[in-house]
Amino acid sequence: MKKIHINCDLGEGGDFDADLMPHISACNIACGGHAGTLETMQQTIKLAVKHGVEIGAHPSYPDKENFGRKTMKISAEELQRSIVAQILSLKQLAEAEGVKLTYVKPHGALYNEAAKDEKTAQIIIDSLLEFDQNLALFCPVNSVISKLAKGKIPIVFEAFADRNYNPDYSLVSRSKSNALISEKEAVFEHLFSMFSEGKITCENGAKISCVATTFCLHSDTPNSVEIINFLQQKFAEHNIKIKNAK
């Protein structure tokens, strides 16, 4: 049986964390930048430990007002201090529960900026290098950050199960009505193509290669629990299991 690795952004104040956690491989925990408090971080870590789910930090621009989805004009020093502080707070809480962080995945605008902007990418890489150099980085295929990080820190290529793509591997802007894929059947078809065929079907119908080894499902999609349950059912029909899922 093949295994697929599914990650999910959790600890962001959503209603579905407890329902999603048993069905995923890894959780990207908000650590105070766009969302999250020490209490929510601790709760999410405990939930992950209960279900044997990998734990990763999900740092962001320090911008709760815009949920980290707008680029901030702050100095490199200030941004790096914020990223390091976010990761450190989650790392310490995880270690208090007897577990370790295994990776970092930037959130929202920080993730998108690092995919195309060398300066932002380097800030994130330098932030990770302040920690264990075995801490992996989740990042998009064909991105600036993946190229800069190569040989410095472990890289895990990621693709999105519920987002549409442009032919240059960028995500369709959330300002467009078709940015998100919310119908469970469409999410499965999109994800199955990426995992089994190594192809991403873009919004214009073009197909581009996909070498991702982890796939993100957003927890704030209103029907995210329905989607993950449907994915498990459909994967089972194709002899595929979600890694770590119950």
Domains delineated in the chain: 2-159+213-218 (3.20.20.370)
For 103, the enclosing helix (H) or strand (E) is: strand 103-104
Closest CA to 190 of 170, 225, 217, 168: 217
Q: Please tell me the predicted confidence (pLDDT) of residue 134.
A: 87
**What string of pLDDT tens digits covers the 246 residues of the chain?**
999 999 999 999 999 999 999 999 999 999 999 999 999 999 999 999 999 999 999 999 999 999 999 999 999 999 999 999 999 999 999 999 999 999 999 999 999 999 999 999 999 999 999 987 789 999 999 999 999 999 999 999 999 999 999 999 999 999 999 999 999 999 999 999 999 999 999 999 999 999 999 999 999 999 999 999 999 999 999 999 999 987
In angstroms, the Cα distances linking 131 to 78, 99, 113, 219 are 18, 16, 22, 28
pTM for the whole thing?
A: 0.96
Q: Please tell me the predicted confidence (pLDDT) of residue 186.
A: 98
Sign of CA dihedral 85, 116, 190, 5: negative
Quote the CA–CA distance of 141 and 35 in Å, as a whole number.
26
In angstroms, the Cα distances linking 156 to 105, 111, 146, 206, 212 are 10, 14, 9, 24, 7
Q: Please tell me the predicted confidence (pLDDT) of residue 72.
A: 97
Q: Please tell me the predicted confidence (pLDDT) of residue 59.
A: 98
Q: Please tell me the predicted confidence (pLDDT) of residue 123.
A: 98
Q: Please tell me the predicted confidence (pLDDT) of residue 234.
A: 98
Quote the CA–CA distance of 21 and 242 in Å, as a whole number.
12
Sign of CA dihedral 112, 76, 145, 24: negative
